[in-house]
Chains A and B, each alone.
Chain A
Amino acid sequence: MDLSLIIMQLLSGIALGAVLVITALGLTIVFGMLGVVNFAHGALFMIGAYAGLYLASLTGSFWWGLLLAPILMGAFGMLIEFVLIRRLYGRSIDDPLLLTFGLSYILVEGVRIVFGSDGIPFPTPPQLIGVLDLGIGFFPRYRLFVIALVAVVLLLLWLALEKTRIGLIVRAGARDPMIMQVLGVDIGRVWLAIFGLGVGLAALGGVLAGPMRSVNPEMGSLVLAEAFVVTVIGGLGSIVGAVVAGLMVGISISLVALFAPEMATIVMFALMAVVLLIRPQGLFGVRGRTT
């Protein structure tokens, strides 16, 4: 087994992890700030892929789909928060969980009715078709692009949260919403924006995954399970946790696939079990958080 093969394998793992990171991020931000376990996240990921595909075919360019789908889906997310989720704040954690669970069924069935349950082809953007010669092997251009784009999104998100006034309000709001209200901040609007951001990230994950996997109504259910595993490993609500755990899961799957391919999917759950045994709150989670 030569070194170049292992490097190529690592790179596939990072590309796989990048999609996981972006999807888990939306899940973890919504949980961390709002205390809502969003079971519709997978369905929104799937609708994001359909929206991206639809907008791309409407405008004739993948790039418009990639830009507009997350924005429109973010607005749709805000609508969901405003109409449905908002009413359940302050109640037990189960209520929003059940609500979003039901919502996911409605969304998936809706897509089945509109687009049918067969998959739809999502062509790779022409500029990114083919492989790039890395010297040690060939790697799909599109997957390299996904890695780069996710890195940029993460950087922007980090800057927004750490360096801006809105970021400050969001972080403070997550810690103590009551004080924020006393200080005159409309915390409801912050939560609205956060939920929109979470859904936008799910949709971005969906559009990015589109050209790699077939686009179909069930594509979200598998992703939801993966995103939850990543979120749990990283620690519920932790952004750094989602990033580290997402890459960790991607790379573990990839390296296990090299030596014991049959085990490639199970490794993710094994990793979660080990982490939970050693650190029940996840790698970057806060112990004893209540919502």
Chain B
Amino acid sequence: MPKSGSTAKISRRTALAGLSAGAALLAMPRLGRAADETIRIGFPTPLTGPFAAEARDQVKCAELAVKLVNDKGGIGGRKVELLVRDDKLNAGEAATRTLELIEKDKVHAVVGALSSAVQLAVNEVTRARGVIYVSISQSDTINEAKDFSKYTFHEALNPHMTTSAVARQTLKKGMKVAHLVADYAYGHEMLRGFKRAQATIGADNVGEILHPFGAADYSTFMPRLMSMRPDVLCISNFGRDQANAIKQAVDFGVKQQMKIVVPVILHNQRLAVGPDVFEGVVGGANYYWGLETQSKTAADFNAAFKAANAGAIPTDYGAYGYSGVGSLLAAMQTAGGTDTDKVVDALEKLQYDLTKGPQHYRKCDHQSVQSVLVLESKKKSAMANDNDLFAILANDAGSDDMLRSCSELGHAT
């Protein structure tokens, strides 16, 4: 993109802005030069709104990834800086902030966004500007050919991966399945994933209810869900919606009739409503701190996070912030700097293990191939301590088989 000063016609306003910026630069010459040397990573995430708890964990972990690299002397002697922006869970806000990060703050890459709709907006902007974007949102639309670009990377799990892993653990042939689904991209994709898994397993769909995103009350959906008499209820929503929906389902006695499963079981939401409500709920996850007994990397990650955050443990969505920023920085390290093409190349070849075992970005769609956990929420009496929330039912190792094929996503193979 041309800088404001280099366009042919300079408006009075641009000239004034340029002049004052120039004056500011003269006033602080040292700061100006230092900024050129720093590697800047833009990090839009919904710090306010119903996903705020998850977003704050992402920031903490992303900062940890940056700190660890800086402590080792940075990348080629250059320090790394994380520029966190609140996308307010709004696609328009996210696009504006991302554009600002690129145009004004001159970031070298963007990592972040939690909601699927917001992720699409960030991807549009980064794609148009040729800036690398590592998404940590659980939605894979940007991996499909129409939204994909060589600058797009997807570090998070995707709906296909989590729903099939959860379905394998919980569904059996002939079971009846009902769905309560948030009416936006995330919910629709999770529903699609579950239905696909159901078809493979041979379980029957008995009904679907779409609920408005961000609803506070789910009671009005419960009588109808109960009347469908399913064996399993899949609740596909996120953040506070998950906490409220599960709580109210339990109030209505749903658990006596059927099992509740979710595509992604959230650490923070389990904390927000307590063990009694979540007891027995099964869901997928990218990370759980309890993995440390099985994985050395998990133990190291937990220890580093504890040291930086007064003994707190990292959460699932937090881990995404760490691995998203961490994998990007590792690629920059290999590429020896921030040259976009070289970093893209390095990311495509990268084999990384930051939180839970080996991961790599698949060449055709840049989806991170990684393990999927299936967790079950423990009952209160089975918890060894306040952090002991889940039992690990399965830890499916990463493989191409758990992803939709590249041709299915519309990529040339």
Is the pair A117, B247 in contact by a Cβ cutoff of 8 Å?
no
Is the pair A12, B216 in contact by a Cβ cutoff of 8 Å?
no
Is the pair B49, A218 in contact by a Cβ cutoff of 8 Å?
yes
Closest partner residue, chain B, to A124 (CB atom): B251
Is the pair B273, A264 in contact by a Cβ cutoff of 8 Å?
no
Least CB distance, A171 to chain B, in whole angstroms:
34
Closest partner residue, chain B, to A138 (CB atom): B253
When the two chains form the complex, which single residue of B211, B220, B227, B240 contacts A13, counting CB atoms closer than 8 Å? Answer: B220
Least CB distance, A65 to chain B, in whole angstroms:
16
Is the pair A9, B251 in contact by a Cβ cutoff of 8 Å?
no
Tell yes or no: B224 within 8 A of A by CB. Answer: yes
Q: Which B264-304 residues have C-beta < 8 A from chain A?
A: 268-269, 271-274, 276-277
When the two chains form the complex, which single residue of B209, B217, B226, B240 contacts A216, counting CB atoms closer than 8 Å? Answer: B240
How far does the alpha carbon of A272 sit from the alpha carbon of B277 in the complex, in Å?
Answer: 35
Is the pair B212, A12 in contact by a Cβ cutoff of 8 Å?
no
How far does the alpha carbon of A161 sit from the alpha carbon of B347 in the complex, in Å?
Answer: 71
List B contacts of A214 (CB < 8 A).
240, 243-244, 247, 272-273
When the two chains form the complex, which single residue of B211, B224, B276 contacts A123, counting CB atoms closer than 8 Å? Answer: B276
**What mask results when residues 13 to 43 of chain A are scored 1 for a CB within 8 Å of chain B, else 0?**
1011000000000000000000000000000
Is the pair A119, B240 in contact by a Cβ cutoff of 8 Å?
yes
- Pick out which of these stretches binds chain A: B50-58, B135-143, B351-359: B50-58
Tell yes or no: A204 within 8 A of B by CB. Answer: no
Is the pair B221, A118 in contact by a Cβ cutoff of 8 Å?
no
Is the pair B219, A142 in contact by a Cβ cutoff of 8 Å?
no
List B contacts of A120 (CB < 8 A).
272
Tell yes or no: A258 within 8 A of B by CB. Answer: yes
Tell yes or no: A261 within 8 A of B by CB. Answer: yes
Q: How many residue pairs between the two chains, A and B, have CB atoms under 8 Å in the bound complex?
A: 106
Is the pair A143, B251 in contact by a Cβ cutoff of 8 Å?
yes
Is the pair A212, B227 in contact by a Cβ cutoff of 8 Å?
no
Is the pair B253, A130 in contact by a Cβ cutoff of 8 Å?
yes
Q: Which A259-282 residues have C-beta < 8 A from chain B?
A: 261-262, 264-266
How far does the alpha carbon of A213 sit from the alpha carbon of B240 in the complex, in Å?
Answer: 9
Closest partner residue, chain A, to B49 (CB atom): A218
When the two chains form the complex, which single residue of B210, B223, B244, B252 contacts A5, counting CB atoms closer than 8 Å? Answer: B223
Q: A119-B273, A213-B244, A214-B243 are in contact. Are A257 and B220 (CB under 8 A)?
A: yes
Is the pair A258, B224 in contact by a Cβ cutoff of 8 Å?
yes
**What mask results when residues 185 to 223 of chain B are scored 1 for a CB within 8 Å of chain A, else 0?**
000000000000000000000000111101111011111
Interface size on B, residues (CB 8 A): 38
Tell yes or no: B170 within 8 A of A by CB. Answer: no
Is the pair A118, B271 in contact by a Cβ cutoff of 8 Å?
yes
Is the pair A16, B224 in contact by a Cβ cutoff of 8 Å?
no
When the two chains form the complex, which single residue of B53, B212, B224 contacts A117, counting CB atoms closer than 8 Å? Answer: B53
List B contacts of A121 (CB < 8 A).
271-274, 277
When the two chains form the complex, which single residue of A5, A138, A213, A266 contacts B224, counting CB atoms closer than 8 Å? Answer: A5
Is the pair B253, A140 in contact by a Cβ cutoff of 8 Å?
yes
List B contacts of A157 (CB < 8 A).
none
Tell yes or no: A222 within 8 A of B by CB. Answer: yes
List B contacts of A222 (CB < 8 A).
214, 216
How far does the alpha carbon of A138 sit from the alpha carbon of B240 in the complex, in Å?
Answer: 25
When the two chains form the complex, which single residue of B220, B248, B274, B277 contacts A9, counting CB atoms closer than 8 Å? Answer: B220
How far does the alpha carbon of A13 sit from the alpha carbon of B274 in the complex, in Å?
Answer: 26
Q: Which A123-173 residues have C-beta < 8 A from chain B?
A: 123-124, 130-131, 137-140, 142-143
When the two chains form the complex, which single residue of A8, A212, A219, A264 contacts B215, counting CB atoms closer than 8 Å? Answer: A264
Tell yes or no: B183 within 8 A of A by CB. Answer: yes
Is the pair A12, B251 in contact by a Cβ cutoff of 8 Å?
no
Tell yes or no: A238 within 8 A of B by CB. Answer: no
Is the pair A262, B212 in contact by a Cβ cutoff of 8 Å?
yes
When the two chains form the complex, which single residue of A123, A137, A143, A219 contacts B226, counting CB atoms closer than 8 Å? Answer: A137
How far does the alpha carbon of A265 sit from the alpha carbon of B220 in the complex, in Å?
Answer: 11
How far does the alpha carbon of A124 sit from the alpha carbon of B183 in the complex, in Å?
Answer: 28
How far does the alpha carbon of A186 sit from the alpha carbon of B282 in the complex, in Å?
Answer: 61
List A contacts of B214 (CB < 8 A).
222
How far does the alpha carbon of A29 sit from the alpha carbon of B272 in the complex, in Å?
Answer: 33
Closest partner residue, chain A, to B55 (CB atom): A117
Q: A119-B273, A216-B240 are in contact. Are A140 and B217 (CB under 8 A)?
A: no
Q: A119-B272, A218-B50, A262-B210 are in contact. Are A213 and B217 (CB under 8 A)?
A: yes
List B contacts of A104 (CB < 8 A).
none
Q: A12-B220, A130-B253, A257-B221 are in contact. Are A265 and B215 (CB under 8 A)?
A: yes
How far does the alpha carbon of A258 sit from the alpha carbon of B220 in the complex, in Å?
Answer: 8
Least CB distance, B254 to chain A, in whole angstroms:
10
Tell yes or no: A229 within 8 A of B by CB. Answer: no
Closest partner residue, chain A, to B257 (CB atom): A138
How far does the alpha carbon of A8 sit from the alpha carbon of B215 in the complex, in Å?
Answer: 20
Is the pair B252, A140 in contact by a Cβ cutoff of 8 Å?
yes
List B contacts of A139 (CB < 8 A).
252
Is the pair A261, B52 in contact by a Cβ cutoff of 8 Å?
no
Is the pair A253, B220 in contact by a Cβ cutoff of 8 Å?
yes
Least CB distance, B201 to chain A, in whole angstroms:
26
Is the pair B251, A140 in contact by a Cβ cutoff of 8 Å?
yes
List B contacts of A142 (CB < 8 A).
251
Least CB distance, B159 to chain A, in whole angstroms:
20
How far does the alpha carbon of A12 sit from the alpha carbon of B217 in the complex, in Å?
Answer: 10
Is the pair A12, B268 in contact by a Cβ cutoff of 8 Å?
no
List B contacts of A223 (CB < 8 A).
216
When the two chains form the complex, which single residue of B210, B219, B274, B276 contacts A12, counting CB atoms closer than 8 Å? Answer: B219
List A contacts of B227 (CB < 8 A).
2, 5
Is the pair B271, A8 in contact by a Cβ cutoff of 8 Å?
no
How far does the alpha carbon of A164 sit from the alpha carbon of B253 in the complex, in Å?
Answer: 43
How far does the alpha carbon of A206 sit from the alpha carbon of B252 in the complex, in Å?
Answer: 20
Closest partner residue, chain B, to A9 (CB atom): B223
List A contacts of B222 (CB < 8 A).
12
List 26 A-B pairs, Cβ < 8 Å: A2-B227, A5-B223, A9-B220, A117-B56, A118-B268, A118-B271, A119-B269, A130-B253, A131-B251, A131-B252, A137-B223, A138-B226, A212-B217, A213-B216, A213-B248, A214-B272, A219-B216, A223-B216, A257-B221, A258-B220, A258-B223, A261-B209, A262-B183, A264-B211, A265-B215, A266-B212
Given contacts A120-B272, A262-B212, 7 further A-B contacts (CB under 8 A): A5-B223, A12-B223, A118-B271, A121-B277, A214-B272, A222-B214, A264-B211
